[in-house]
Chains A and B, each alone.
Chain A
Amino acid sequence: MMQFRGPHPSPASGRGACRSPVSHDMGEAGGEGVTHKAEEKMGRLDGKVAIVTGAAQGIGAYYARGLAAEGAWVAIADIEPADRVVAEVKKAGGEAMSEICDVSDGAAVARFVGAVDEAYGGVDILVNNASLARMDRTPVEELSAAEWDRYFAVNVRGMVECVKAVLPIMRRKQYGKIINITSGTVWNGPPNMLHYVSTKGAILGMTRALSTELGKDGIRVNAIAPGLTSTDYIKGKNNYADYLAAIANTRSIQREEVPEDLVGACIFFASPDSDFVTGQCLVVDGGAIKH
């Protein structure tokens, strides 16, 4: 399902003619395509290719749309189809592709990343957002080994599978921006979700160690820790009102957190503005946690 072959045209590359993605569903034969939005307005991520995992819905979809709005070509990996998000990006004048991919399956991740490299000519940004995050209360004594392992397979090893797959590509250019999504729960340690919180703590350590190991390759690795964010999934839980009341009060900015609140930080860590920032974690939660 290749949509476009060849390197992502960067405005700085000196290639004058606009090389536009030929969209399959535009029904146009080769040649003419949609003018890349980047030609009209300079985005901070013009010429960049971003992978966002877990972006079929939830906060991930907002990261994907936000990066695309800044000019990045976005590739989404999710266990659910992401056609809706891809269509939204294209409707807004951007470029996106998606594939079904379970990040805990290293072979599938390698295939996905290979497809992105072939379609878009590289990978500059990786947003490790895919994560199991059920908010149902599970006391520690009821946590099964299988569920524990599943959470670590997706939330932690899944990130490493993605890093391993993009590494050779990022090393080619000696440039990369990896953003790992952790969670404010690492700081306030809520009960009855030990598997989830533990995976997010692991991500913090992973971010720091990766930054040291990959710094010499020009790859920056940072983390974002969101607070409880009002996604459709979260709002559908029958204890949502309790969560909201309990949490909004703990914030310096006393309102619910919405996915839009996180996009700015994602773009910051994806853009050259943060090129000398690595190994860091930024808490984005209206100031409940002070880090």
Chain B
Amino acid sequence: MGKLDGKVAIVTGAASGIGPAYAQGLAAEGAKVMIADIEPSEATVKAIRAAGGVAESRRCDVSDERQVAALIRDTEAAFGGLHILVNNAAVFARYVAVPLDQISAEDWERAFAVNVRGSFLCVKAALPIMRRQRYGKIVNIASGTVFKGVPMMLHYVSTKGAIIAMTRSMANELGRDGIRVNAIAPGLTSTEYLKGRNDIPGVLEAMAKTRAIGRQEDPQDLVGACVFFCSPDSDFITGQTLVVDGGGVMH
């Protein structure tokens, strides 16, 4: 008996990074998971199935309204409904330092198109189904960088600030439809990608020292909060942002 038995979830951006952990965590609690990413997501699907869970994947650029509409349609066709949406897909999360005066207009637009418009488009497309069900759990992925005002990635931090505002406004607008909307703000997380970088020596360890729990953050550390916001345990919680970073930022 899982907390999410009978539920259908979409997790965007779950080919790599933290997304696979969310997808696997939801599947482990009984949800049928549709994974959407611009990269191939077979590895995540395989891992879920190997653990006895149910998953499929679709290639989808969340900044493209038609692709998002197809994603929702395919999910309903494959799994019969849609209860949970984890808006995790994002660009420029890969720890590249860029002074703000060197951010091109194109890169700025791309960040907002994927991180913000993408989250909006997924919610918009999911709404008819969730409204019909009078039930929905939306989890937007924000970032601890908003609270710290991390420099050298202005486009990224700004998109994540927009996510927090969006979370609050969506909560107010959709509460009457039985749809709860919350956000998780991770700290800098030691994904496979970041651990493989050799040009940022000591950054992950230095971050660990700033935390109350003085260790690096692993994608697994975020799964509990994601499952919580997707489960009935949090049904009277909406419009909130939970920082999960070992006590680096206090919110």
Contact = CB atoms under 8 A, between A and B. Distances in A.
By DSSP majority rule, is chain B's interface helix, strand, loop, or mixed?
mixed
Given A264-B233, A291-B251, A277 B211 contact: no
B66 interface: no
B175 A287 contact: yes
A252 B233 contact: no
A279 B247 contact: yes
B175 A280 contact: no
Contacts of B176: 252, 254
B242 A277 contact: yes
Contacts of A253: 175, 180, 236, 238
B133 interface: no
A283 B224 CA distance: 17
Of residues A215, A220, A257, A278, which shows the largest number of chain B Cβ atoms within 10 Å of its Cβ? A278
B4 to A, nearest CB: 13
Contact of A275 (B168, B172, B224): B224
Interface in B199-251: 211-214, 217, 221-225, 227-228, 231-247, 249-251
Contacts of A284: 236-237
Contact of A215 (B213, B217, B234, B237): B213
A280 B224 contact: no
Given A261-B235, A264-B235, A290-B168, A279 B175 contact: no
Interface in A254-278: 254, 257, 261-265, 267-268, 271-278
Nearest to A286: B236
Interface in A212-251: 212, 214-216, 218, 220, 251
A281 interface: yes
A287 B244 contact: no
Contacts of A265: 233-234, 237
A218 B246 CA distance: 11
B175 A283 contact: no
Of residues B221, B223, B232, B240, which shows the largest number of chain A Cβ atoms within 10 Å of its Cβ? B240
A215 B247 CA distance: 8
Given A211-B212, A211-B247, A278-B213, A252 B172 contact: yes
Nearest to B229: A268
A282 interface: yes
Interface string B171-205: 11011100010000000000000000000000000
Contacts of B167: 290
Interface string B155-175: 000000000000110011011
Contacts of B212: 211-212, 214-216, 278-279
Contacts of A290: 167-168, 171, 239-240
Interface residues of A, number: 40
A252 B247 contact: no
A9 B242 CA distance: 33
Given A265-B234, A272-B224, A277 B244 contact: yes
Contacts, number: 120
A271 B228 CA distance: 11
A280 B251 contact: yes
A267 B239 contact: no
B243 A280 contact: yes
A171 interface: no
Given A253-B236, A290-B239, A290-B240, A276 B171 contact: no
Contacts of A257: 236
Nearest to B184: A277
Nearest to A284: B237
A262 B251 CA distance: 19
Contacts of B232: 264
A236 to B, nearest CB: 22
Nearest to A210: B212
Contacts of A252: 171-172, 174-176, 238-239
A161 interface: no
B45 to A, nearest CB: 24
Contacts of A271: 224
B121 to A, nearest CB: 22
Contacts of A211: 212, 247, 250
A208 interface: yes
A276 B245 contact: yes
Given A276-B245, A286-B175, 9 more contacts: A252-B171, A253-B238, A261-B235, A264-B231, A278-B212, A280-B247, A280-B250, A287-B171, A291-B241
21 contacts: A215-B247, A218-B213, A252-B172, A252-B238, A254-B176, A264-B228, A264-B235, A268-B224, A274-B225, A274-B228, A276-B213, A278-B247, A280-B242, A280-B243, A280-B250, A280-B251, A282-B240, A282-B242, A284-B236, A286-B175, A286-B238
Question: A-B pairs with the 7 shortest C-beta distances?
Answer: A273-B224, A264-B233, A215-B212, A252-B175, A276-B221, A261-B236, A287-B238
